[in-house]
Amino acid sequence: MKRLFSTLVIASVMLFGAANVNATNFVSPQLDNIVNFVQDEEAALDVQEEEELGFHQELKKRFIEGGPGFMGIVLLCLILGLAIAIERIIFLNLSTTNTKKLAQDVEDALNSGGIEAAKEVCRNTKGPVASIYYQGLDRADESIEAAEKAVVAYGGVQMGQLEKNVSWVSLFIALAPMLGFMGTVIGMIQAFDRIEAAGDMQPSLVAGGIKVALLTTVFGLIVAIILQIFYNYIIAKIDSIVNDMEDASIILIDMLVDYKNKKRI
């Protein structure tokens, strides 16, 4: 489109100049100015397009230069780590419940309809806190101690479900930069092999190999940084849910004690 516009402008000026032969001395400088202006505009647009596409092109170029071996493994660590992290984030968000509202609903149902009504409220609520409440209420007819043991035991089970597969994310965080460093070391060894084969220390022999070797380290560190951000968010989310579970367990035991005392009266 830019080329077409430039051609039309130049052609129009040339036709105008041909029709006015007596004004040739005036038209020629104007024609040169217009051509220079159009060329400057084209150059500016080309630079702008290069700046817009430069980051993606540069990233692709550097990734290819790093070599398919180690760079492919580092990319696989990123893909698997992100897949596990996203799955954990979705699961944790679905496991989050309004603990205060749940405790109030269970208490109201317990006072109005007894243990079975409170268990029904827990069955209709998703999340680990509701599951812990259900297990405690299910043992409430035996004794408070039995209900407390059930809450503690099932709380450990729920905590294991929350932390499931999180260790794989930490593995990829450690593995990605280690693979990058390994690629760097191997690249340096290859660079020194070239020096030994040539029998001369020339920068051109080792510069390319060292650059490729360092690229693996850079991409390994980038992968580790990205996964570390997701990992810290997951750990913080798990800690928040676990704290809610512990607070809810204390509230449940207090509710059961009050319920038992009211029944005795």
Query: 98-151 pLDDT, tens per residue?
Result: 888 888 888 888 888 888 888 888 888 888 888 888 888 888 878 888 888 888
Structure confidence at residue 204 (pLDDT): 64
Q: Which residue has the higher pLDDT, 50 or 155?
A: 155
| Stretch 58-62: mean pLDDT | 62
Task: Answer yes or no: is pLDDT of 33 > 60.
Answer: no
Report the alpha-carbon distance of residue 96 to residue 125 in Å, rounded.
11
Number of C-alpha atoms within 13 angstroms, CB side, residue 71? 18
Report the alpha-carbon distance of residue 23 to residue 46 in Å, rounded.
35
**What is the percent of the chain with per-residue pLDDT over 70, rounded to a whole number?**
69
Q: Is 22 helix (H, G, I), strand (E, B) or coil?
A: helix
The angle at the Cα of 203, spanning 198 to 204, to the nearest 5 degrees, equals 75
- Is residue 115 within 8 A of residue 141, CB to CB? The reply is yes
Please give the structure tokens belonging to residue 59: 């990233």
Q: What is the DSSP string of 189-207?
A: HHHHHHHHHHTS--HHHHH
Report the alpha-carbon distance of residue 50 to residue 28 in Å, rounded.
33
Looking up tokens 């060292």, which residue turns up?
Answer: 210
Structure confidence at residue 30 (pLDDT): 47
Question: Residue 72 — very low, low, confident or very high, per pLDDT cuts 50/70/90?
Answer: confident
Report the alpha-carbon distance of residue 3 to residue 201 in Å, rounded.
49
Question: Residue 172 — very low, low, confident or very high, per pLDDT cuts 50/70/90?
Answer: very high
Report the alpha-carbon distance of residue 137 to residue 184 in Å, rounded.
59
Give pLDDT tens digits for 185-213. 777 777 777 777 776 666 666 666 677 77
Q: Is the pTM of this model over 0.95?
A: no
Q: Where are the alpha helices (DSSP H) in the chain?
A: 2-19, 24-65, 68-95, 99-113, 115-123, 128-138, 144-162, 166-198, 203-264
Structure confidence at residue 147 (pLDDT): 85
Task: Answer yes or no: is pLDDT of 87 > 90.
Answer: yes
Of 18-27, 161-170, 180-189, minimum mean pLDDT range: 18-27
Average pLDDT, the chain: 76
* Main-chain phi, psi angles of 230, to 5 degrees: -65, -40
Give pLDDT tens digits for 149-171. 888 888 888 888 898 899 999 99
- Is residue 138 within 8 A of residue 119, CB to CB? The reply is yes
Structure confidence at residue 95 (pLDDT): 85
Question: Residue 18 — very low, low, confident or very high, per pLDDT cuts 50/70/90?
Answer: very low
